[in-house]
Structures are given as C-alpha cells and as structure tokens.
Structure 1
C-alpha cells in the first residue's frame, strides 16, 4: 500500500516504513537505525491496527549500544497487556506513540477525522524506546488546515505543526522528521 523513508532530524535516524492493508486491518512494519547523543540504535517495530486506526497489538525490538530489548503489547477489549503484564493505567487507550517515528501520529489523525479548526485531547501509551520506558500521556490534535495538524503534548507544552499527505502520513514534522522518499 505505501512504502516510505523518513529522516529523523533530532534523532539522527533513517526509517524504512511499510504499510499494508487487507479487508480488516492495517499492518505496519518498519526499521529504524540511528545515533542520538551517546546511543547507537537499531529498532524494528510491527503494529497491527484495525480499520478505525486503533492499535490492536505491537512489537518493538531494539538494540541500543548492543543491548537488546523488547516491548510487546496487545489489546484485549479495553485492557492492555504489555510485556506479559496487565497495565490498568492504559485501560481504554486506543493509540501508542513511539518516540523514534512520526508514524504513530497517523493513528489519531486518521481515527479522529477532525474537521478544520476542531481539536480533541486523547490519552496515549508513550513508548520511549531509547530509555526503555512507557507511560500514559495526554496529547491534543487540532486540524489547522486540510493537510496540517497542531500536535500538543499536554504534559510538557511541546507543540509542532505537522504536515500530512492524503493518507494521513507525515510529510514534515519540523525539527524532528521529514519524508525523503516514497513508493
């Protein structure tokens, strides 16, 4: 369906991204390599998403400075099991946000279907791959034009205006990510 390469500006990375779909789901498989601060890393992630752009399960395998780690998560109705433990703090969360990729912004953008000038706050599972940490965060998306969204992290006041293509995939995320190729 779509293959892209993103350049991570802040994270000094390249991501080879592939999105496939069938009648019931979207499947994302992606590979990221990079070097940020004192960390050299390689990350492979796979996400299964329903047709409403709600995450059903994910697998993130990373190697950071030769240390291998995994985050695996699956939704069971409104509950999340991550690395084989139930996490009630994520009950009813629909989305994940993986620190090293702009793709996970596509999930709420396509799910919320905001009209121009409207906004919505959401809860997400934030996955900080480089520090191997997950936590709940609140974010807000505001559609500022047909292809632009203002992303806000409520917790730390971070804001960025993201430009997306017709499929809701990030083209430009200022100072963080830029699309550099696509098939």
Structure 2
C-alpha cells in the first residue's frame, strides 16, 4: 500500500485542492477537498473508488456554497453510468468521469495513453461540472508529446480548448496549462 497527499493550486482563479491518494493491490481510493472562489465561492469534496487499473468505478461529489449543499453520485453500471442511482442512457459508452475542478481525473486516461511521442487516446467522458453539479457527455483526446508531457484536446463541451500537461511517473498532473499546478506543502 502507498499513501500520498497532493496539493494543486488553481492558476485561473483563486483555489486550492488537497487530495489524499491510497494505492493498494485491489484498487485506488482518493479523497479530496477543493476550495474555490469561482461561482461565488464554494467547497467541494470528492471521493473516488478506482479499480487496480485506475478505471473509475464511482465518485461522490459534495458541494457547499451560497446556493446550499448538493450531492452527486456517479457510479459505473456495465458500459454506462448511474447518476444518483438512476441510469443515464446518454452516458452509455463514456469511458471515464471528468470532474471540472480537479486535474486528478486526467490521470485515468493519461495512464492509458500509449507511450511514445505522437501517440493519442480519444475517449468520451461523463463530464461533471463541479460548480453546477451537472453531468453531461463530452469527448476529449490526449496526445503524448514525450516523456511526462501530454497535450489535452477538448472535442466536446469545451471544443477548441487545448492545454499542455506535465505529469509525474504515475501520470499525476504536475502542471496543467491555464488551470492547475501542483504545489508542495510548506
């Protein structure tokens, strides 16, 4: 078992995330808190359960802000997803969740992107808007640029958005152009 604590700072708005990651032979769990001044300010907690291959099995998202408290649960159901227990046929075939307020979920497809510059992985996601607490299908692509470097290309809801990502040996984001950078605790 390995346990680590990661911190990311938002670079587009004021915000900070603390994520505790536990990797065990039978799977991965992550528990995180995000504090963000975006959307009138909010706190968002997210808890992930992944299989040993880092494929998301479920995520629970809780948000506190000026509009009150909201909870959203997304869980894998065969080749699709359930949202708050209800089947979502529009998410059938979406490979992974993507939560807007964290770079953590980029790790799942990055770990599956073939090694070697010029290789790519395209996938559909169940995109969770953390500020709005909604889920919609979206598409994205990861282009391997070399060791520890990946280009993110949005092909769906934010079509046209692209960013360079620098990742560590585990595929966890060190920097995400325009949005996040990993920081060490003092």
TM-score in terms of structure 2 length: 0.92
Q: Which ranges of structure 1 fall in alignment gaps of 5 or more residues?
A: none
The residue that corresponds to 2:28 in the other structure is 26
| CA shift for structure 1 position 94 | 2.4
The residue that corresponds to 1:88 in the other structure is 89
Q: RMSD value over aligned CA atoms?
A: 1.5
Q: Deviations over 1:71-110 (max 9, x none)?
A: 1011122121111210011123221111110111101001
Larger displacement relative to structure 2 (108-117 or 8-17) = 108-117
The residue that corresponds to 1:115 in the other structure is 116
How far, CA to CA, are the matches of 1:11 and 1:100 in structure 2?
Answer: 11
| CA shift for structure 1 position 64 | 2.0
The residue that corresponds to 1:179 in the other structure is 182
Give 1:12-91 correspondences, 5 Å limit. 12-36=14-38, 38-91=39-92
TM-score in terms of structure 1 length: 0.94
Number of residue pairs matched by the alignment: 182
Q: Deviations over 1:42-71 (max 9, x none)?
A: 011001011222110110001121511111
Q: What is the DSSP-based 3-state SS (H/G/I as helix, E as strand, rest coil) of the residue aligned with 1:110?
A: helix
**Higher RCO (CA 8 Å, separation ≥ 6 residues):** 1
**Does the aligned pair in 2 maintain the 1:64–1:130 contact within 8 Å?**
no
Q: Which ranges of structure 2 fall in alignment gaps of 5 or more residues?
A: none
**Does the aligned pair in 2 maintain the 1:18–1:30 contact within 8 Å?**
yes
**Does the aligned pair in 1 maintain the 2:48–2:59 contact within 8 Å?**
yes
Runs of 4+ in 1 over 4 A off after TM superposition: none
**Does the aligned pair in 1 maintain the 2:46–2:60 contact within 8 Å?**
yes
How far, CA to CA, are the matches of 1:57 and 1:11 in structure 2?
Answer: 28
